[in-house]
Amino acid sequence: MSTTARAQKAPDTRGPVRKLLTSFGFQIIAALVLGIAAGLIGRQLGATAENPTALSATLDTIGSSYVTLLRAAVVPLIFTAIVASISNLRRVQNAARLAGQTILWFAITAFIAVIIGIVLGLVIQPGSHAGDGLEPGEPYTVGTWWNFLLGLIPQNFLGLTVSTSPGAAEGTFTSSVGFNILQVIVVAAVVGIAALKAGKKAEPFLVFTESLLKVIQRVLWWIIRIAPLGTFGLIGSAVIKYGWEKLASLGWFAGAVYIGLALVLFVVYPILVRTHGLSIKQYFSGVWPAVQLAFVSRSSIGTLPLTERVTERNLGVPRSYASFAVPLGATTKMDGCAAIYPAIAAIFVAQFFGIELNFVQYLLIVIVSVVGSAATAGTTGAVVMLTLTLSTLGLPLEGVGLLLAIDPILDMGRTAVNVAGQALVPAIVAKREGILDEELYNAPREGLPFADDSGDDAPEADAASTPEPAGAR
């Protein structure tokens, strides 16, 4: 039984070449290859992070502009998605049980991931194999349990922060506006719960919020459409800035992280899928568009609309449940950033500084990873989570500076695993609760993942199914 709607579609009359060229997956892969090629050409022409050229500046502008577009939609997306997801629980039977099962499986998969990270850190010994030239340095941001708890208290309704610093010219100042994502999440959750408690009087507000969410999702679909262009700029710029030589001194560490990510994505997740009687092939073909975008954007929240779309359309999770579980996962479920990475990184730092960890400290790594995932808040990077782990273990925070050089390279893989897990858990819970649409889960992936009801101006894709999209609530 499922509440996921079905939509009729016209037969696909495209030829094989056109079908390939208009495939979203093919466009992303092609952009990755072209971006790497452009980055290598740029390095051959002498472009570096310290010595930019016209080509490197162009690639950086394309990539950074795409990330800026994604970030611009983060705050309204989080607020409306969380309020709408909480309100949608009123339409779901056994809502409390579903919420509890979701959080439980978030914790189970995080526990498995952090254990894998600890084992790899002990077996591969990345800190003992660190190359020369690494310089400890203070992290640009530090996470502590106290700061994390204080950060949950909203300073204002929007979680708005303003920072001012001296400008380039004497006597001038520049100000920048930012948002505390954790505070936005808290505000949205409180508003959503209050709206539920208000009952019928809050119905107009909830209807407006869901309508606003549709509009924001539509804007995000347009941004996602140009993901191949953003991919080209981001990858090309990363190759020029960091190059492959950056991996030389941290090769063992990078290898350990990516081995851990691969084990979770291609071993642990498939085992969980098969254990629940579902097709592994269908899981990967269904979730892959979101994984690709996550790899490029390095943002779980930026990928949220597509993650929710494929969870409903491809994996057959009922919309009323997916609209709660996926936004929750995008802000709290981080198997890559909050489990595998901090575990291996903490062991790396301890080994680099010659510090012997005891059983209690390993246990603390597990606890921090399972409990503290919300500290990453779905944003790019995992420095906050790493500093939270190091400070809890009493390890030197200067160790973070050792790893910053290759953090963007690692963050691509971490975010891809995060998003794969954020779609997996709702599918597992829906299957266990008997609400998964297995016919839809096993359907051919031939639809348009970004199409709306009318099917207008939506890019073709090779990895989506046919039900009504999430953007047409």
Per-residue DSSP letter, 162: E
| pLDDT tens-place string over residues 278-298 | 999 999 999 998 998 888 777
What pLDDT, on the 0 to 100 scale, is given for residue 473? Answer: 32
Output 257-262 pairs: Cβ under 8 A, ≥24 positions apart: 257/340, 257/341, 257/344, 257/345, 257/410, 257/413, 257/414, 258/410, 258/413, 259/120, 259/124, 260/113, 260/116, 260/117, 260/120, 260/340, 260/344, 261/336, 261/340, 261/413, 261/414, 261/416, 261/417
Amino acid 248: pLDDT: 64
pLDDT of residue 2: 42
Residues 255 and 126: their CA atoms lie apart, in Å, by: 9
Residue by residue, DSSP assigns 394-439 as T--GGGHHHHGGGHHHHHHHHHHHHHHHHHHHHHHHHHHTT---HH
253-283 pLDDT, tens digit each: 989 999 999 999 999 999 999 999 999 999 9
Q: Scanning the structure block, which residue is given the tokens 């990077």? A: 381
What rounded mean pLDDT belongs to the chain?
78
Task: Say what the pLDDT of residue 309 is.
Answer: 87
**pLDDT at site 458:** 40
Structural tokens at position 79: 């607020």
What pLDDT is attached to residue 286? 93
The pLDDT assigned to 276 comes to 96
pLDDT over 90 (residue 422): yes
More confident: 6 or 152 = 152
Q: Of residues 402 and 365, which shows the higher confidence score?
A: 365
Strand partners, 174: 165
Lowest mean pLDDT among 270-274, 330-334, 371-375, 416-420: 371-375
Task: Identify which has the larger pLDDT, 213 or 133.
Answer: 213
User: pLDDT class for 471, splitting at 50, 70, 90?
Assistant: very low
Please give the distance of CA 344 from its chain centroid, rounded to a whole number. 19
Q: Is the dihedral of CA 355, 360, 362, 365 positive or negative?
A: negative
Q: Which residue has the higher pLDDT, 114 or 459?
A: 114
Q: What is the pLDDT of residues 51-87, one digit of tens each?
A: 788 888 888 888 888 877 877 777 787 788 788 877 7
pLDDT in tens, 302-337: 788 889 889 998 999 998 888 888 888 887 788 988
User: Residue 462: pLDDT band by 50, 70, 90 thresholds?
Assistant: very low
Alpha-helix runs per DSSP H in 243-299: 246-249, 251-263, 269-275, 280-297
**∠ Cα 307 204 302 (to 5°):** 20
Quick check: 50 pLDDT over 60? Answer: yes
Which two structure tokens, joined as six digits, stand for 390? 């190091």
pLDDT of residue 133: 53
Identity at 312, one-letter amino acid code? E
What is the structure's pLDDT at 3?
A: 43
Measuring CA to CA, how many Å separate 310 from each of 200, 287, 454?
32, 6, 18
The percent of the chain in helix, strand and coil, each rounded to the nearest 5, is: 70, 5, 25
Under a CB-based contact definition with an 8 Å cutoff, are residues 281 and 252 in contact?
no
Who wins on pLDDT, 151 or 309? 309
- Euclidean distance between CA atoms 213 and 205, whole angstroms: 12
Q: What are phi and psi of 157, to 5 degrees?
A: -60, -35
Tokens of 151: 């950060």
Please compute the mean of the pLDDT values over residues 368-382 and round it to a whole number.
Answer: 62
